[in-house]
Amino acid sequence: MVQYPDGRLDASFAALSDATRRAVLERLGRGDASISDLAEAFHMTLTGMRKHVGVLEHAELVTTEKVGRVRTCRLGPRRLEDETAWIEQQRRLWDARFDVLEQVVAERRWEERNDGHPKRN
Amino acid sequence: MDTRSATEATTTMNRTTIERTSEQELVVTRTIDGPRDVVFEAWTNAELFRQWWVPKSIGVKLLSCEVDARVGGGYRLTFDNGTDEPMAFFGRYLEVSPPTRLVWTNEEGDEGMVVTTVTFEDHGAGTRLVVHDRYPSKEALDAAIASGATGWHAETFDQLDELLVKRGTSTRA
C-alpha cells in the first residue's frame, strides 16, 4: 500500500472536500488568476475567496505571490505528488471494477450455458 | 494488512496497470477471464454494465444508467455522492465494433471532451482490455488530477482497500 507522510493527504482531502475549492483548482489549471478574479468568477466576497485560497495554500495545492496590490494564485508544488496519488486511486478504482466485471462475465456465461443457447462464437 | 506492495500488485499477471502515457493520455490495462464477445457485451448491455461499473465498495450509489451502444447513441449515468446534486456522466458512442473496439466521448467536464477508446483482444482463454483516455489538453488532465476528478474521498479508498484485501485472500492465488 502507498503510505503518505503525516497528514498531508488529509490536508489535501480536506481542501478538496469543498466544491468551490475544487472549482478554484480547475480554474487555476487553466491559468493563473488573482484573488479578485477568482472572487468575481465565483460570485464571492474577497474575504470569502481569501479563506478558500488559504485552505488550498495550506495543503500546498496552491501558491500565491503578491506583486504590488495584486495577489496572484497558481497551482502549487503538490501537483506531482498528487499525480502519483491520483493515478494510484484510479488504478484501484479500475481494479475493483474489473474484479466485478470478471464476476459478471462468469455469471453471464453460466446463464448462457443453462439457457441452452449455443455460445455465440 | 495486505503485505503486497502496490508496485508488486501492478506487475502481477492479470492485474490492473495504469500509466500516463503522454501529457494528455491515460492508459489502463487488465486481462479478464472470459471470451471477448461476453466481455464486450458486459460493456454495452446496460443491465450488465450497471452491475460492475460502480463497485459497491466505492461508496457512491448509481441512481440511473442508460446505455444506447450504437454509433451516435448516448449514455448517461447519475450517481448519489452524498451531496444535494447527483453527479452525472454522459456522452455518446463514436465507434461500436463488437467484439473488438468501443469508443465514446465523456462530455460532463468543463475542460472539454475526453475520448475513451476500449480495445478487446484475445489473450489465451481470456480477454485483454486496454482503456485509453485522451484528454483535450495537458491542462485538462492536470486539472482532473488537481481536483481529484472522481470525487472519491480517503475513507472510500480505505473501504476499497479492505475489499481488495478480502478478495485477495479469498479468491486470488
3-state SS of B5-56?
Answer: CHHHHHHCCCCCEEEEEECCEEEEEEEEECCHHHHHHHHHCHHHHHHHCCCH
In a domain, A1, yes or no: no
- Clarify whether residues A59 and A114 are in a common domain: no
| pLDDT over threshold 90, residue B5 | no
The overall average pLDDT reported for chain B is: 79
Q: Give per-residue pLDDT as tens, B13-61.
A: 568 999 889 989 999 999 999 999 999 999 999 999 999 998 876 777 8
- The boundaries of the domain holding residue B32 are 12-148
CB-CB contact of A51 with A21 (8 Å): no
Between A34 and A14, the more confident residue is A34
**What's the ipTM?**
0.74
Q: Which residues of B fall within a CB distance of 8 Å from A111? A: none
Q: Closest CB to B18: pick one of A9, A61, A94.
A: A94
- The boundaries of the domain holding residue A120 are 78-121
Q: What is the pTM of this model?
A: 0.62
Q: Is A108 on the interface with B (CB under 8 A)?
A: yes
DSSP summary character for residue A118: P
How many domains would you assign to chain B?
Answer: 1
Give me the residue label for grid cell 465494433.
B97
Which residue of B lies nearest to A106 if distances are taken between CA atoms? B34
User: What pLDDT, on the 0 to 100 scale, is given for residue B152?
Assistant: 37
CB-CB contact of B146 with A29 (8 Å): yes
Q: Give per-residue pLDDT as tens, A42-79.
A: 999 999 999 999 999 988 888 999 988 899 998 876 66
CATH number at residue A12: 1.10.10.10
- Clarify whether residues A63 and A120 are in a common domain: no
A121 and B35: CB-CB below 8 Å?
A: yes
Q: Chain B window 3-62: which residues touch A at a Cβ cutoff of 8 Å? A: 5-6, 10, 15-20, 26, 28, 30, 32-35, 37-39, 41-42, 48, 51-53, 55, 57-58
Q: Tell me how many degrees the CA angle A81-A19-A16 measures, rounded to the nearest 5.
A: 25
Q: Closest CB to B146: pick one of A1, A25, A90.
A: A25
User: What pLDDT, on the 0 to 100 scale, is given for residue B14?
Assistant: 62
